Structure 1
Amino acid sequence: MKKIVMAVVLALLTACAGVPVSTDYSQEFDFSGVSTYAWLLPAKHADPEIDNDLVRQRVVDAVDAQFTAKGLKQVADVSQASVLVSYQLGQEDKIAIDNFGSWYTHYGYYPCYHCGYRPGFGYFGRSHFYDDDIWVRNYKESTLMIDVIDPASKKLLWRGMTKRVIPSLKTPEERRLYVLETVSAILAKFPPGSAVAR
Structure 2
Amino acid sequence: MKTAHKLLMLIAVVMTLTACTTLRTSSDYDKKIDFTGYKTYNFYDKGIARVKLNNLDKRRMLSAIEAEMNAKGFTKAAKPDLLVNLVVVARERVDVYNYGPGYYGWGGWGWGWRSPFWGPSMNSVDQYMEGTIIIDFLDPKQKILIWHGRGSGFNLDNMSKREERVQSGVKEILAQYPPK
Task: Give me the TM-score of the superposition, normalised by structure 1.
Answer: 0.68
CA contact (8 A) 1:44 1:52 kept: no
Asked if 1:179 corresponds to 2:179, the answer is: no
Q: Structure 1 176/58 Cα, relative in aligned 2: closer, same or farther at 3 Å?
A: same
Secondary structure at the aligned position of 1:129 is classed as strand
Q: Letter of the 1:36 partner, please give it.
A: T
Q: Letter of the 1:28 partner, please give it.
A: K
CA contact (8 A) 1:139 1:165 kept: no
**Structure 1: gaps of 5 or more residues:** 1-16, 108-113, 194-198
Secondary structure at the aligned position of 2:78 is classed as coil
CA contact (8 A) 2:65 2:170 kept: yes
Partners of 1:56 and 1:131 in 2: CA distance? 45
Secondary structure at the aligned position of 2:152 is classed as strand
Asked if 1:153 corresponds to 2:180, the answer is: no
Partners of 2:56 and 2:165 in 1: CA distance? 13
- 1:132 corresponding residue in structure 2: 121
- 1:67 corresponding residue in structure 2: 69
Partners of 2:164 and 2:123 in 1: CA distance? 34
Secondary structure at the aligned position of 2:118 is classed as coil
* Percentage identity across paired residues of the two chains: 29
Residues 11-55 of structure 1: CA distance to partner in whole angstroms, max 9, x if unpaired? xxxxxx94321111111111111111121032334xxxx513222
Partners of 2:85 and 2:92 in 1: CA distance? 24
Partners of 1:84 and 1:127 in 2: CA distance? 66
1:20 to 15, 24, 30: 24
CA contact (8 A) 2:43 2:84 kept: yes
TM-superposed deviation, 1:60: 1.3
Asked if 1:55 corresponds to 2:44, the answer is: no
Q: Structure 1 53/27 Cα, relative in aligned 2: closer, same or farther at 3 Å?
A: same
Q: Structure 1 175/130 Cα, relative in aligned 2: closer, same or farther at 3 Å?
A: closer
- 2:8 corresponding residue in structure 1: none
Q: Give the strand-richer structure, 1 or 2.
A: 2
Could you say what the CA RMSD is over the residues aligned between the two structures, in angstroms? 2.6
TM-superposed deviation, 1:130: 4.2
- 1:116 corresponding residue in structure 2: 110
TM-superposed deviation, 1:97: 1.3
Partners of 2:121 and 2:66 in 1: CA distance? 50
Task: Give me the TM-score of the superposition, normalised by structure 2.
Answer: 0.74
Secondary structure at the aligned position of 1:89 is classed as strand
Residues 74-96 of structure 1: CA distance to partner in whole angstroms, max 9, x if unpaired? 1112xxx2211111012222111
Partners of 2:123 and 2:164 in 1: CA distance? 34
- 1:37 corresponding residue in structure 2: 41
CA contact (8 A) 2:22 2:169 kept: no
